[in-house]
Amino acid sequence: MARAVSKKRTVSKRHGRSRAAIAKKRPNIGTVLPGPKARLILNKDRRYVSPSYTRFYPAVIEQGKGVWVTDVDGNVFLDFSSGIGVVSTGHCHPEVVKAIRDQATKLLHMSGTDFYYPNQANLAEKLAEIVPGARNKKVFFCNSGAEAVESAMKLARYHKRRTRYIAFTGAFHGRTFGALSLTASKATQRKYFAPLLSGVTHVSYAYCYRCPFNLQYPSCDMTCVKYIDDVLFKKVVPPEEVAAMFIEPIQGEGGYIVPPPGFMPALRALCDKYEILLVDDEVQSGMGRTGKMFAIEHFSTKADIYCVAKGVASGLPLGACISRSGIMDWEPGSHASTFAGNPVSCAAALKTIDLLENGLLDNAARCGDVALARLSDLKERYEFIGDVRGKGLMIGVELVGDAISKVPVKDRRNAVIYEAFKNGLLLLGAGESTVRFIPPLVITENELHMGLEIFERALRKVFGIR
Ligand SMILES: Cc1ncc(COP(=O)(O)O)c(C=O)c1O
């Protein structure tokens, strides 16, 4: 107990926020939403910005600190979205900002494609150390999650001299043509963009709440994995042509789906059987989000290639594809990118990893348990909460019509998220009918409960409970 208290103190102190200030802070909505200044920005945005983005509600944010953001009209929100899982160390963490500032005064860009600089090699060394598996690894730097996935796709083909890929229904791996070919979370994301890359075959993810084979774990005996071997590889896809299998160890955009313990080891065994590379997409689930550095560590499995981005640099653009050195055997000129591994992003990433290793991983695990317990309690009380699942601070709450029919209630899910916004809590959806909880990893228990209270009030309002 004494240890937990002192850890809490460290978490708030080191993250630039006194405990007294945290205790006093509350969401504060002082205008109608959107407020007058926000409306001006929204009009300009509507006129000039691509309509392809998926904004859920009109939050026009001006500044952020920790788990709090303030909009252009001075309204204060609790951010349980982390800018889609990016600001792992919280908004504008003082140590990350300092690292960025220090680096920015020395060197903004040189291009790791043609030159060397210390930060890039230092970060590669650190990533090689923290990614599961033997230390002998190499890192390809890029700028985003989709680019990390593209790199893994190209690397797998190059190394294996095989052309096909396996991916999963519900997967989200990004929106560039290669990554989009693996993505299968929403048809809108693919509509009118065909033809995509050929040679991608999708199989069922272990979504046990809605098992595609209508079975139950563990008596199912991992039928979803056996199907790949017994049916797909025998009748449709020659396994010796498959370069790689891409998997999110916890599915993100597809609905925050945690597979059962046997799923990842079974996939590993299948890949080993046919010498297929297992690619672990940790873009959303990695960098401490689940209370471990990488979500795959929850399943005692190691991949051949890892993709990271989002939370790795606390908000600056950076992606990386990491593999054993023996796999990353492509020759000079085969793959590169001008901005990749930018020195300022690398500085932010080194500081981010330092903060994760020194308190935030533990905080994510501890606060995640608190959040899961409280949300599971809500599930006992409200029939329209079909499932609560997650690890650490990567939690999904799937809303349904009722526990028996499990009918998805997308409109009500969206209404809950909008209601939470009106009351000062920023949430995002995932999948068809799930609300996701991904606050910055600096969150305190007090802040967590504040947000969950707003969420419960929003649920009660939308589902008509007095
Ligand atoms: C698991 C996963 N992979 C890849 C991506 C693509 O990342 P980006 O949007 O940075 O291209 C995402 C984005 O949400 C993701 O969740």
Q: 407-443, pLDDT tens digit by residue?
A: 999 999 999 999 999 999 999 999 999 999 999 999 9
The reply to whether ligand 1 has any atom less than 6 angstroms from the CB of 77 is no
For atom 4 of ligand 1, which residue has the closest CA? 173
Q: Stretch 239-258: mean pLDDT, rounded?
A: 98
Q: Stretch 353-374: mean pLDDT, rounded?
A: 98
Residue 389: which H helix or E strand, with range? strand 385-391
Domain shared by 167 and 274, yes or no: yes
Instruction: Evaluate if residue 8 carries a pLDDT over 60.
Output: no
Tokens encoding 387: 């499932």
Instruction: Evaluate if residue 195 carries a pLDDT over 80.
Output: yes
* 106: phi then psi, degrees, rounded to nearest 5: -100, -50
Query: Does residue 157 belong to any structural domain of this protein?
Result: yes
Query: Does residue 353 belong to any structural domain of this protein?
Result: no
The reply to whether ligand 1 has any atom less than 6 angstroms from the CB of 282 is no
Residue 17: which H helix or E strand, with range? none
Question: Rounded to whole angstroms, how far apart are CA atoms 439 and 460?
Answer: 22
Question: Rounded to whole angstroms, how far apart are CA atoms 111 and 340?
Answer: 7
pLDDT, tens digit (0-9, with 9 covering 90-100), for 288-299:
999 999 999 999
Cα Rg of the chain, angstroms: 22
The reply to whether ligand 1 has any atom less than 6 angstroms from the CB of 167 is no
Q: Which atom of ligand 1 is nearest to the CA of 248?
A: 1
Instruction: Evaluate if residue 10 carries a pLDDT over 70.
Output: no
**Percent of residues, the chain, with pLDDT higher than 90:** 94
Pair 224, 213: CB distance under 8 Å = yes
3-state secondary structure (DSSP) of residue 36: helix
The average confidence (pLDDT) of the chain is: 95
The reply to whether ligand 1 has any atom less than 6 angstroms from the CB of 151 is no
Domain shared by 137 and 209, yes or no: yes
pLDDT, tens digit (0-9, with 9 covering 90-100), for 448-465:
999 999 999 999 999 999
CATH number for the domain including 127? 3.40.640.10
Query: Does residue 314 belong to any structural domain of this protein?
Result: yes
Instruction: Evaluate if residue 7 carries a pLDDT over 70.
Output: no
Q: What is the DSSP string of 62-105?
A: EEEEBTEEEETTS-EEEESSHHHHT-TT-BT-HHHHHHHHHHHH
Query: Does residue 13 belong to any structural domain of this protein?
Result: yes
Residue 439, preceding peptide bond in cis (omega within 30° of 0): no
Domain shared by 167 and 300, yes or no: yes
The reply to whether ligand 1 has any atom less than 6 angstroms from the CB of 429 is no
* 165: phi then psi, degrees, rounded to nearest 5: -135, 150
The reply to whether ligand 1 has any atom less than 6 angstroms from the CB of 83 is no
Range of the domain at 64: 2-92+362-462
Q: Which atom of ligand 1 is nearest to the CA of 253?
A: 16
User: Which pLDDT score is estimated for 466?
Assistant: 84
For atom 16 of ligand 1, which residue has the closest CA? 284
* 461: phi then psi, degrees, rounded to nearest 5: -65, -50
Which of these, 126, 139, 129, lies nearest to 351 by C-alpha position? 126
Test site for ligand 1: of 283, 318, 434, 438, most ligand atoms within 8 A of the Cβ: 283
Estimate to the nearest angstrom the gap between the alpha carbon of 223 and the chain centroid.
Answer: 27
Instruction: Evaluate if residue 247 carries a pLDDT over 50.
Output: yes
Instruction: Evaluate if residue 300 carries a pLDDT over 60.
Output: yes
84-110 b/e (C-beta count within 10 Å ≥ 16 → b): ebbbbbbbbbebbbebbeebeeeeeee
Query: What is the amino acid identity at position 441?
Result: L
Domain shared by 88 and 115, yes or no: no
User: Which pLDDT score is estimated for 371?
Assistant: 98
Test site for ligand 1: of 172, 189, 280, most ligand atoms within 8 A of the Cβ: 172
Domain shared by 376 and 336, yes or no: no
Instruction: Evaluate if residue 109 carries a pLDDT over 90.
Output: yes
Instruction: Evaluate if residue 5 carries a pLDDT over 60.
Output: no
Q: Which atom of ligand 1 is nearest to the CA of 146?
A: 11
Ligand 1 centroid vs 22 CA: distance in angstroms?
31
Q: Stretch 3-20: mean pLDDT, rounded?
A: 59
User: Across the beta sheet with 164-168, what order do the strands follow?
Assistant: 137-142, 319-324, 305-308, 277-281, 242-247, 164-168, 200-203
The reply to whether ligand 1 has any atom less than 6 angstroms from the CB of 257 is no
Domain shared by 372 and 328, yes or no: no
Which of these, 149, 334, 377, lies nearest to 253 by C-alpha position? 149
**Percent of residues, the chain, with pLDDT higher than 70:** 96
User: Which pLDDT score is estimated for 6?
Assistant: 46
Instruction: Evaluate if residue 271 carries a pLDDT over 50.
Output: yes
Domain shared by 230 and 325, yes or no: yes
Number of domains in the chain: 2
Query: Does residue 171 belong to any structural domain of this protein?
Result: yes
* 320: phi then psi, degrees, rounded to nearest 5: -155, 145
Domain shared by 394 and 334, yes or no: no
Pair 395, 364: CB distance under 8 Å = no
Query: Does residue 348 belong to any structural domain of this protein?
Result: no
User: Which pLDDT score is estimated for 1?
Assistant: 33
The reply to whether ligand 1 has any atom less than 6 angstroms from the CB of 428 is no
Pair 246, 201: CB distance under 8 Å = no
Domain shared by 150 and 39, yes or no: no
Q: Stretch 129-144: mean pLDDT, rounded?
A: 96
The reply to whether ligand 1 has any atom less than 6 angstroms from the CB of 145 is yes
Ligand 1 centroid vs 183 CA: distance in angstroms?
10
Mean pLDDT lowest among 16-30, 174-188, 189-203, 328-342: 16-30
CATH number for the domain including 421? 3.90.1150.10
Q: What is the dihedral of CA 205, 209, 212, 216, to 10 degrees?
A: 100
Residue 242: which H helix or E strand, with range? strand 242-247
Which of these, 267, 263, 288, lies nearest to 278 by C-alpha position? 267
pLDDT, tens digit (0-9, with 9 covering 90-100), for 216-246:
999 999 999 999 999 999 999 999 999 999 9
Ligand 1 centroid vs 273 CA: distance in angstroms?
29
Which of 306, 341, 376 corresponds to the end of one domain?
A: 341
Q: Are strands 200-203 and 137-142 parallel, antiparallel or unpaired?
A: unpaired
Query: Does residue 132 belong to any structural domain of this protein?
Result: yes
Question: Rounded to whole angstroms, how far apart are CA atoms 262 and 117?
Answer: 42
Q: Which atom of ligand 1 is nearest to the CA of 282?
A: 1
The reply to whether ligand 1 has any atom less than 6 angstroms from the CB of 149 is yes
Domain shared by 224 and 317, yes or no: yes
Domain shared by 293 and 421, yes or no: no
Domain shared by 291 and 380, yes or no: no
Q: Stretch 154-163: mean pLDDT, rounded?
A: 98
User: Which pLDDT score is estimated for 15?
Assistant: 81
Question: Rounded to whole angstroms, how far apart are CA atoms 90 and 150?
Answer: 28
Query: Does residue 104 belong to any structural domain of this protein?
Result: no
The reply to whether ligand 1 has any atom less than 6 angstroms from the CB of 144 is yes
Ligand 1 centroid vs 149 CA: distance in angstroms?
8
Q: pLDDT-derived band of residue 301, with 50, 70 and 90 as boundaries?
A: very high
Test site for ligand 1: of 294, 310, 434, most ligand atoms within 8 A of the Cβ: 310
pLDDT, tens digit (0-9, with 9 covering 90-100), for 305-349:
999 999 999 999 999 999 999 999 999 999 999 999 999 999 999
